[in-house]
Amino acid sequence: MKNYIKKLVFFLSVMLMISCSDDDSSSFETFNITEYIIGGKLVNNRVCIMIFSSNGLVRIINVDEEMQLSYTIDGNSVILEDYGSFEVENDEIIFDDLNDINFENAVLLKKPEENQLKGKTFSGMLSNIGFQFEHFVRFSNNGNLYGANETFETATPNDNYDLIGNVSGKFQDDQFSDVFYFNNNQLVYERKVSFQGLQPIYFSSQGLDIQ
């Protein structure tokens, strides 16, 4: 009987040590948000991109502006200064409590090592209330240049753009402001058209198809 009790005590001690070891290791596991970007929409329905740096700052980019906020990590929760927080599990956003950022259709995109846009062409319909037209987006073979227009021929990739996380980007000139991200072989895309003296017009697509 004494031998049985000794063996039982030894077994329980070993299990306790293993359990403590697991708890210690998990307590040091922190979700690394800098390995991802987020594509989604603001509450005003503007397409946006969020990219997190290792110095505790996040850029929120849309066709109207770019914001920079501080953020902190608590386990799998990401807390944005003055905006709230969201939680991540298995590479998906599972909960959010954020002001001014609508994560209903947000996607968490792992940053690849290489530019996923280079050499690709996308096309589909851009729309605004009561108006739509066909739109082409082309990226050069080295991925450094961008072109967008109503036909394949006129969407020549001659313009520089800001590549973000190798899966998204922004283009800006005096007339156009474009924001886009690549997901499931489609380009989620928004274009802001500005003419001097007139209100800007916004066109978007939930997914231009890859050609």
What are the distances in angstroms from CA 52 to CA 23, 67, 200? 28, 12, 29
From residue 181, alpha-carbon distances to 107, 119, 174 in Å are 10, 15, 22
Same domain, 59 and 140: no
- pLDDT attached to residue 151: 96
Domain assignment present for residue 190? The answer is yes
Give residue 114's pLDDT: 95
Does residue 130 share a domain with residue 55? no
How does pLDDT run across 46-64, given as a tens digit for each residue? Answer: 999 999 999 999 999 999 9
Same domain, 38 and 94: yes
Among 68, 91, 110, residue at a domain's last position: 110
Same domain, 104 and 127: no
- Shared domain for 104 and 142, answered yes or no, is no
**What is the torsional sign of CA 98, 99, 103, 106?**
negative
Please say if the pLDDT value at position 43 is more than 50.
yes
| Alpha helix (H) residue ranges in the chain | 2-27
Task: Specify the length of the chain in residues.
Answer: 211
| Phi, psi (deg, nearest 5) at residue 18 | -65, -45
Q: In the structure, what pLDDT confidence band is assigned to residue 169 with cuts at 50, 70 and 90?
A: very high
Place of tokens 């596991």: 29
pLDDT, one tens digit per residue, over 110-126 is 999 999 999 999 999 99
Q: Helix (H, G, I), strand (E, B), or coil: what is residue 15?
A: helix
Residue 158 region by backbone torsions, left for phi larger than 0, else alpha for psi between -120 and 50, else beta: alpha
Supply the range of the domain harboring residue 164.
121-210
Residue where the block lists tokens 């987020």: 38
Query: Looking at the 3D structure of the chain, how many domains does it have?
Result: 2
Full DSSP string of 152-172: TTT----EE-EEETTTEEEEE
Residue 141 shares a structural domain with residue 66: no
Whether the pLDDT of residue 5 is over 90: the answer is no
Task: Name the residue among 33, 65, 39, 31 with its Cα closest to residue 52.
Answer: 33
- Note the maximum CA span of the chain: 94
pLDDT tens digits, one per residue of 148-164: 999 999 999 999 999 99
**Domain-embedded: residue 59:** yes
Residue type, 37: I
Of residues 164, 195, 201, 184, the one with CA closest to residue 37: 164
Q: Are residues 147 and 95 in the same domain?
A: no
Residues 133 and 198 in one domain: yes
Check which CATH number belongs to the domain holding 49 and give it. Answer: 2.40.128.640
Whether residue 133 is predicted with pLDDT greater than 60 in this model: the reply is yes
Q: Among residues 59, 86, 110, which one ends one of the domains?
A: 110
Place of tokens 């020549």: 156
Of the listed ranges 7-11, 94-98, 174-178, the least confidently predicted one is 7-11
**Residue 79 within any structural domain of the chain:** yes
Q: Which amino acid is at 200?
A: P
Q: Are residues 104 and 153 in the same domain?
A: no
- Kindly write down the DSSP assignment for every residue of 18-86, as one continuous string: HHHHHHHHHHT----GGGEEEEEEETT--EEEEEE-TTSEEEEE-SS-EEEEEEEEETTEEEETTTEEE
Mean pLDDT check: name the lowest of 1-15, 21-35, 121-135, 154-168: 1-15
In a domain, residue 138? The reply is yes
Residue 2 has pLDDT above 90, yes or no: no
Last residue of a domain, one of 110, 133, 167: 110
**102 lies in the same domain as 181:** no
